[in-house]
Amino acid sequence: MTTVAPDRPATTVTDRAELVPVPEPERRPRSGVLRLARKIGVTIAGLALIVAGIVMLVIPGPGVVAILAGIGLLGTEFPAARRVSERLNGYLRAAWRKIRRRKDAA
């Protein structure tokens, strides 16, 4: 059994001409103050995560995860942190693949 969609009326050229284009909302660039406030907030939160991760390496807690999250957060605003985050991500993926291969071979 085949289902066929109902026929739609063909759109004519006159129908298209009558459509009024909807103007896109104006996008104002963010003001410098908001951009700076966001950068400061991301920096403080990222550094707090990194410091908390370092503390959690000594006390019980997911220290490595917190450090990686802090670097990832800083990577949203700083290109150097983004490069570090991407490099660490590559190392972790390679290590995970290696572990998976060993597990599958056993």
- pLDDT at position 1 is 58
| Distant-in-sequence, close-in-space partners of 47: CB < 8 Å, separation ≥ 6 | 70, 74
Give the mean model confidence (pLDDT) for residues 25-35. 74
DSSP 8-state secondary structure symbol assigned to residue 106: -
**Are residues 79 and 71 in contact, defined by beta-carbon separation less than 8 angstroms?**
no
- pLDDT at position 54 is 95
Claim: this prediction has a pTM higher than 0.75? no
- Euclidean distance between CA atoms 71 and 84, whole angstroms: 8
Dump pLDDT digits (tens) for 34-60.
889 999 999 999 999 999 999 999 999
Dump pLDDT digits (tens) for 80-105.
999 998 898 899 899 989 888 887 77
**Are residues 54 and 67 in contact, defined by beta-carbon separation less than 8 angstroms?**
yes
- Euclidean distance between CA atoms 48 and 66, whole angstroms: 9
